[in-house]
């Protein structure tokens, strides 16, 4: 099959690789219908996260079960399924608690020896614990299929940030980061009943999507000016709940500064300097909490799925460029250049 | 009156100062029956927190109302009262939410121009918002009076840490710090229903108190060895809820490392390097939350008071040395040398 391989920073190729097969009886093989490129893939693309040359890449996909191992009980060949960005056994203490990202047998697509999502098919370990079934009818609904793909990462990750930030009915929420996760954070905050949602971002195409998703205010400034603007919108206090969806020192610093005393920063931006942006003295004096991390998306899919199926929540606008499998390297470049927000792959 | 004054690091004196008077109609003057020295006072004593020469010091006291301003409605001369370590107006949005430490009109005892707790009397701003009445009978019960003094800071601060760490019925809790706050954290965790409480500490006198307060296990190791010991006690996982009651880089690092995936660090140690001990990548991968800060003790006193009055919660063992007002400088030295855990002052 054809799959995406990373050889070095900025060296993404689509190559012929061995077809995946059921290796363990709990495996399934999924033929990919939709995949995409994540903002976090860019850390590897830019060489800021280490990869071994030849590693697969991509961790978001949905598709059709092609073969299920003898011990897979929940899926049959032909089932339409979505995969979260981490596989998990579904049996351990952490899986039972909904923290599948801490499953001792879990792992990330594209880690050494594993298939990545940006290919024609994927061997899925622990299929019963990992995959979630989708209605068969969705397979013929192009728009819905794209929306459902967001369940594999960005929508669940935005939701995790909103939960971490403590968004509830009536909250004032601020979102730092205008990438797909930040935008899904807006969507999730709206879904959880936020009354006011302030989106921070300079790119009008993106902030326009934020408004569609429920943002009531947009702050285009950065750094101290952004902090001042948010404070002005919130009677000098800041937002109850702040979503940090970038991961840099500056974004975390801004997030802390715009949080209201007693509020929380829900962070899902993979840390690339963001630890340095945490001013603990400020957080201490103002009782600002920090909660988040790698999102246990598998736990959230059952909760979010009905709203995506009904159309009440539609994250599909975050995908603004579609490519075939051979267009993946160009897709990375487009996202790195910020000419694309999030690239959809139809292998 | 006589009051404690800090002139420079290690230069604590007891001096004659002007008697406090009602300056604003919302003030009260309280004659101090009991005060004490806080571990956090040592940051000033050691020169690690800046003070202007001549500032008063001390922020924990209880006593009898001597005079109440014309607009004070809740207190009369003769009332027995306890003061939290921050005064607050009782009227603002933050006070209403129970975050009195963020009251815009609030302040700390001993800040420039204000009385400190380690003196014979204190002018209390916003008496109605700040003070909490105690049963008159307590005034003649020496043991109870000492226990009630802990409501001014350490018991409420330990409770804040336990709440921040998310302690609930059945939790496994670990406590980093064997000072009075850490020990009160043990007490608070026990009160909230923790099933297992692991106290980290090397001083047997203190860990013996921890056991009296409800600790089920004691870990005397430090650093990596302490982490290994806690993991061994928790099936390799760590504790659901970790109380960080020190504030240094090492204590925070240990706290994060011994937290179970998905758990939280409740931190109340005034940050003195602890920000550097936060490894955000570890916290991200393991979904470890951080929640705490300066404790809104005023909000907790009404909840904790009945249990102190009934004797169900007795924090008095944290006071292991009693001095009169002239003994305060020696009390600082004893706490700095760690020959005393917490010094009680009977002015």
Pairing of strands B217-219, B239-244: unpaired
CA distances from B111 to B10, B44, B233 (A): 18, 12, 44
Q: In a 3-state reduction of DSSP, which class is residue B322?
A: strand
Nearest CB among A101, A283, A287 relative to B101 is that of: A287
* Furthest CA-CA distance within chain A: 61
B324: contact with A, CB 8 A cutoff: no
CA A184, CA A139: separation in Å to the nearest integer? 23
B177 and B310 together in one domain? no
Residue showing tokens 């999507």 = A209
Interface of A with B in 128-167 (CB under 8 A): 164
A108 and A24 together in one domain? yes
Within chain B, residue ranges assigned H as helices are 41-45, 93-97, 127-130, 142-149, 154-164, 180-191, 204-213, 223-233, 249-257, 280-285, 297-310, 328-336
CA B312, CA A275: separation in Å to the nearest integer? 41
Asked whether A218 and A186 are in contact (CB, 8 A), the reply is no
Cα angle for residues A125, A130, A133 (degrees, 5° grid):
120
DSSP-assigned states of every residue in A260-304: EEEEEEEE-SPPSSGGGG--HHHHHHTT-EEEE-S--HHHHHHHH
- Across-strand partners of A80? A64
Q: How many residues are there in chain A?
A: 347
Residues of B with Cβ-Cβ distance to A270 under 8 angstroms: 284
A191 and A207 together in one domain? yes
- Across-strand partners of B321? B343
Which stretches of chain A drop beneath a pLDDT of 70? none
Interface of A with B in 172-211 (CB under 8 A): none
- Across-strand partners of B218? B199
Which chain B residue shows the shortest CA-CA distance from A262? B99
**Boundary residue ending a domain (B270, B292, B314):** B292
Asked whether A218 and A210 are in contact (CB, 8 A), the reply is yes
Query: Structurally, how many domains does chain B consist of?
Result: 2
Give residues with Cβ within 8 angstroms of A79, minimum separation 6.
Answer: A64, A65, A133, A136
Asked whether A252 and A270 are in contact (CB, 8 A), the reply is no
Residue A176 CA, chain-centre distance (Å), reads 15
Interface mutation vs chain A, best among B100, B289, B292, most A CBs within 10 Å: B289
A94 and A167 together in one domain? no
Residues of B with Cβ-Cβ distance to A284 under 8 angstroms: 267, 270-271, 292-294
Please compute, for residue A335, the number of CA atoms within 13 A of its CA located in the half-sphere on the CB side.
Answer: 31
B92: contact with A, CB 8 A cutoff: no
B310 and B283 together in one domain? no
Structure tokens at A88: 């998990």
DSSP H or E run through A128: helix A127-130
Q: In a 3-state reduction of DSSP, which class is residue B340?
A: coil
- Look at residues B185, B160, B167 and name the one whose alpha carbon lies nearest to residue B241: B167
Give residues with Cβ within 8 angstroms of B244, minimum separation 6.
Answer: B161, B176, B177, B251, B252, B255, B265, B266, B267, B268, B269, B274, B292
| Radius of gyration in angstroms for the set of CA atoms belonging to chain A, rounded to a whole number | 19
**Boundary residue ending a domain (A252, A267, A292):** A292
A284 and A308 together in one domain? no
Q: How high is the pLDDT of residue A302?
A: 98
Interface mutation vs chain B, best among A284, A294, A298, most B CBs within 10 Å: A284
Give residues with Cβ within 8 angstroms of B186, minimum separation 6.
Answer: B158, B175, B197, B199, B210, B213, B214, B215
B262: contact with A, CB 8 A cutoff: yes
Nearest CB among A274, A287, A293 relative to B294 is that of: A287
A109 and A213 together in one domain? no
CA A15, CA A119: separation in Å to the nearest integer? 9
B19 and B118 together in one domain? yes
B279: contact with A, CB 8 A cutoff: yes
A282 and A307 together in one domain? no
B138 and B228 together in one domain? no
Contact B290 A290 (CB under 8 A): yes
CA B265, CA B289: separation in Å to the nearest integer? 6
Which stretches of chain B drop beneath a pLDDT of 70? none
Pairing of strands B321-324, B343-346: parallel
Check which CATH number belongs to the domain holding A312 and give it.
3.90.180.10
CA A291, CA A281: separation in Å to the nearest integer? 17
φ, ψ dihedrals at B167, nearest 5°: -60, 130
Please report how the helices B180-191 and B154-164 are oriented relative to each other, as an axis angle in degrees rounded to 10.
Answer: 60
Q: Answer yes or no: is the ipTM higher than 0.90.
A: yes
Residue showing tokens 């003994």 = B327
A271: contact with B, CB 8 A cutoff: yes
Which chain A residue shows the shortest CA-CA distance from B107? A285
Cβ–Cβ pairs < 8 A, chains A and B:
88
B290: contact with A, CB 8 A cutoff: yes
Check which CATH number belongs to the domain holding B200 and give it.
3.40.50.720
Give residues with Cβ within 8 angstroms of B220, minimum separation 6.
Answer: B201, B202, B207
CA A6, CA A336: separation in Å to the nearest integer? 15
CA A162, CA A267: separation in Å to the nearest integer? 9
CA distances from B52 to B11, B328, B330 (A): 12, 19, 21
CA distances from A278 to B82, B248, B269, B271 (A): 35, 15, 16, 12
Please report the sign of the dihedral spanned by the C-alpha atoms of residue A202, residue A207, residue A210, residue A215. positive
B130 and B8 together in one domain? yes
Structure tokens at B267: 């931190």
Residue A15 CA, chain-centre distance (Å), reads 25
CA A293, CA A265: separation in Å to the nearest integer? 11
φ, ψ dihedrals at A34, nearest 5°: -140, 135
> How distant is the Cα of B291 from the closest Cα of chain A, in angstroms?
4
Contact B280 A280 (CB under 8 A): no
Domain that holds residue B206: 157-292
Contact A286 B102 (CB under 8 A): yes
Contact A291 B293 (CB under 8 A): no
Give residues with Cβ within 8 angstroms of B142, minimum separation 6.
Answer: none
- Work out the end-to-end distance of chain A between its first and last CA atoms, rounded to an integer number of angstroms: 10
B101: contact with A, CB 8 A cutoff: yes
Residues of A with Cβ-Cβ distance to B248 under 8 angstroms: none
Q: How high is the pLDDT of residue A336?
A: 96
Asked whether B208 and B179 are in contact (CB, 8 A), the reply is no
Asked whether A4 and A39 are in contact (CB, 8 A), the reply is no
CA distances from B263 to A291, A317, B34, B266 (A): 10, 34, 38, 10
Asked whether B119 and B32 are in contact (CB, 8 A), the reply is yes
Q: In a 3-state reduction of DSSP, which class is residue B212?
A: helix
A48 and A122 together in one domain? yes
Contact A284 B270 (CB under 8 A): yes
- Look at residues B220, B181, B179 and name the one whose alpha carbon lies nearest to residue B198: B220
Nearest CB among B101, B274, B284 relative to A271 is that of: B284
Asked whether A26 and A334 are in contact (CB, 8 A), the reply is no
Give residues with Cβ within 8 angstroms of B219, minimum separation 6.
Answer: B174, B198, B199, B200, B201, B226, B229, B230, B233
């Amino acid at each position: 099959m054809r799959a995406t391989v990373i050889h070095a920073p900025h060296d993404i190729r689509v190559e012929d690789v061995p077809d995946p097969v059921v290796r363990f009886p709990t495996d399934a093989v999924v033929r990919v219908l939709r995949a995409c490129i994540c903002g976090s893939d860019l850390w590897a693309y830019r060489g800021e996260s280490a990869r071994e040359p030849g590693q697969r890449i991509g961790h978001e996909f949905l598709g059709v079960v092609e073969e299920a191992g003898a011990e897979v009980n929940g899926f049959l060949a032909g089932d339409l399924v979505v995969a979260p960005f981490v596989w998990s056994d579904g049996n351990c203490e952490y899986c039972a608690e909904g923290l599948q990202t801490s499953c001792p047998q879990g792992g990330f697509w594209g880690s050494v020896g594993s298939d990545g999502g940006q290919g024609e098919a994927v061997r899925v370990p622990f299929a019963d614990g990992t995959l979630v079934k989708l209605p068969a009818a969705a397979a013929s609904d192009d728009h819905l299929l794209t929306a459902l793909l967001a369940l594999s990462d960005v929508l669940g990750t935005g939701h995790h940030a909103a939960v971490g930030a403590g968004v509830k009915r009536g909250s004032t929420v601020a979102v730092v980061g205008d990438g797909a996760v930040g935008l899904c954070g807006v969507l999730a905050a709206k879904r959880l009943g936020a009354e006011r949602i302030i989106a921070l971002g300079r790119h009008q195409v993106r902030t326009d999507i934020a408004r569609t998703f429920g943002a009531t205010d947009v702050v285009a400034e950065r750094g101290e000016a952004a902090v001042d603007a948010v404070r002005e919108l919130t009677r000098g206090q800041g937002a109850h709940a702040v979503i940090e969806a970038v991961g840099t020192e500056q974004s975390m610093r801004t997030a802390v500064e715009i949080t209201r005393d007693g509020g929380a920063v829900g962070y899902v931006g993979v840390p690339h300097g963001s630890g340095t942006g945490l001013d603990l003295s400020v957080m201490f004096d103002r009782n600002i909490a920090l909660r988040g991390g790698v999102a246990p998306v598998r736990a959230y899919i059952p909760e979010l799925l009905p709203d995506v199926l009904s159309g009440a929540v539609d994250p599909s606008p975050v995908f603004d460029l579609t490519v075939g499998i051979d267009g993946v390297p160009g897709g990375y470049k487009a996202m790195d250049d910020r000419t694309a927000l999030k690239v959809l792959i139809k292998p």
